[in-house]
Structure 1
Amino acid sequence: MGTITSSQNDKTVLTSKQTAMLRANTRFTEQQIKDWHAGFLRDCPDGKLSKDRFMSVYEQFYPGGKAKEFCKYAFATFDRDNNGTIDFIEFMLAIALTQTGDLEQRLTLAFDMYDINGSGSIDKSEMTRVISAMYDLVGETERKGERDPKHRASEIIKQFDVTGNKKLTKEEFIAGCKNDPVIRRLLIPNA
């Protein structure tokens, strides 16, 4: 009974099997994957992206905002194996979804991020927390009246909730976002 000590456990090695899997699940070429891997290792020599490093990268993209809360939700979504770090495979799948995924895939990813407790639905509290985090991220300070996160969350749920249970299923969320470009831009800015 031997132990696995090969490249399977070494997060700095990109195997041909992993490259093939990424090619099959993303629109990236083999060379693009290798280039991304080299860049990932420059920034994360141990092959693991920590939550703190993830946050510092996000802060560079949003210098006027506060990335902490949004990053907490995004990081948890991308850390598929829940080990507290994002490895290269998780990173590439997240990049592929956010940059090149079709609208349905991107809306599914957004739903997964907003479903903070993993219940399979988004309630007003979860929606409010994510809207507040998005406001923090972009430096939005006007949060009164219709811009109040609680008000926005209530309105979105009221508009999309076809079952009347005051929660959004993944199907309700995706259908609602597809049918309302204004709310889609609010909840999924790059979709």
Structure 2
Amino acid sequence: MSEMSALSRKLIQNLAETLSKQVKHFNKTEAECLIQLFNTLLGEQTERKAPNGLDRGKFRNILHNTFGLTDDMIMDRVFRAFDKDNDSYISVKEWIEGLAVFLRGTLNEKIKFCFDVYDLNGDGYISREEMFHMLKSSLIRQLTEEDPDEGIKDLVEIILKKMDYDHDGRLSYSDFEKAVREENLLLEAFGSCLPEAKCIQAFEQHAFQDTPSP
């Protein structure tokens, strides 16, 4: 083992220890595996001059190929939800923090994550326009009628009727949270932004294959 790789292994172990204390849901060994995976993905990036994290293109490939997400708008929003400091790269810490919720989040954490994804302009509300854009984006392939916009507008009104508890014509965080607690299926009402169980299982088996199960 060269001195360099031994050194980076030590760095990885130290980083894994720090991150596993800061981030719920992953133990030190798992954090170490995720850091190594991150380094591998970083090494595959074409943009060599960007060592500061995974770029949008690379991350979207992972969301699509590994986690089965298909909607462009939603994938872009998930990227932004991971990229907490808005520097257009996913750092190793953002990678592990994001995956903690993405793979193993509690219902509370998932509600917050989905709300952030759906609140397109970040103003703390999901408006009629935002719902319309997201539903149009995710349903357009399934709608065959001449004017799908009308159908989507109707759907937005149905959803508002069900989820808008304070009747102000938009969804606040508390509206969204209350609705999802009453009916968990509403968590991803505006498009799939979390991976299915089988994708999570496959990813974890691959990422944590060398680790002893707890």
TM-score class, shorter-chain normalisation, is: 0.7 to 0.9
| DSSP 3-state at the match of 1:44 | helix
Q: How far, CA to CA, are the matches of 2:62 and 2:162 in structure 1?
A: 34
Q: How far, CA to CA, are the matches of 2:132 and 2:89 in structure 1?
A: 26
1:181 Cα offset (Å): 3.4
Q: 1:32 corresponds to which residue?
A: 30
| DSSP 3-state at the match of 2:110 | helix
Q: What does 1:69-108 correspond to in 2, within 5 Å?
A: 69-108=73-112
Q: How far, CA to CA, are the matches of 1:143 and 1:111 in structure 2?
A: 29
The CA RMSD over aligned residues, in Å, is: 2.9
Conservation of the 8 A alpha-carbon contact between 1:22 and 1:93:
no
Q: 1:57 corresponds to which residue?
A: 62
Q: Which range is displaced more, 178-187 or 123-132? A: 178-187
Q: What does 1:16-31 correspond to in 2, within 5 Å?
A: 16=14, 19-31=17-29
1:55 maps to amino acid: R
Conservation of the 8 A alpha-carbon contact between 2:16 and 2:29:
no
| DSSP 3-state at the match of 1:49 | coil
Cα shift readout 1:70-118 (whole Å, capped 9, x = no counterpart):
2111111111100011111111111111211110110111001111111
1:111 maps to amino acid: F
Q: How far, CA to CA, are the matches of 1:21 and 1:61 in structure 2?
A: 23
TM-score by length of 2: 0.70
Cα shift readout 1:112-166 (whole Å, capped 9, x = no counterpart):
1111111111101112222334447xxx523668x94433332212211122110
Conservation of the 8 A alpha-carbon contact between 2:165 and 2:175:
yes
Q: What does 1:26-175 correspond to in 2, within 5 Å?
A: 26-45=24-43, 46-61=51-66, 66-135=70-139, 140-142=141-143, 148-175=151-178
Q: CA distance change for structure 1 residues 123 and 39 in 2, over 3 Å: closer, same or farther? A: same
Q: CA distance change for structure 1 residues 89 and 133 in 2, over 3 Å: closer, same or farther? A: farther
Tell me the number of residue pairs that the alignment of Structure 1 and Structure 2 aligns: 175
Highest relative contact order (Cα 8 Å, sep 6+), 1 or 2? 2
Q: CA distance change for structure 1 residues 175 and 167 in 2, over 3 Å: closer, same or farther? A: same
Larger proportion of strand: 1
Establish whether residue 180 from structure 1 lines up as the match of residue 183 from structure 2: yes
Q: CA distance change for structure 1 residues 75 and 150 in 2, over 3 Å: closer, same or farther? A: farther
Q: Which has the larger radius of gyration?
A: 2
Q: CA distance change for structure 1 residues 160 and 18 in 2, over 3 Å: closer, same or farther? A: same
Identity score, percent: 18
Q: How far, CA to CA, are the matches of 1:91 and 1:114 in structure 2?
A: 20
| DSSP 3-state at the match of 2:178 | helix
Q: CA distance change for structure 1 residues 133 and 95 in 2, over 3 Å: closer, same or farther? A: farther
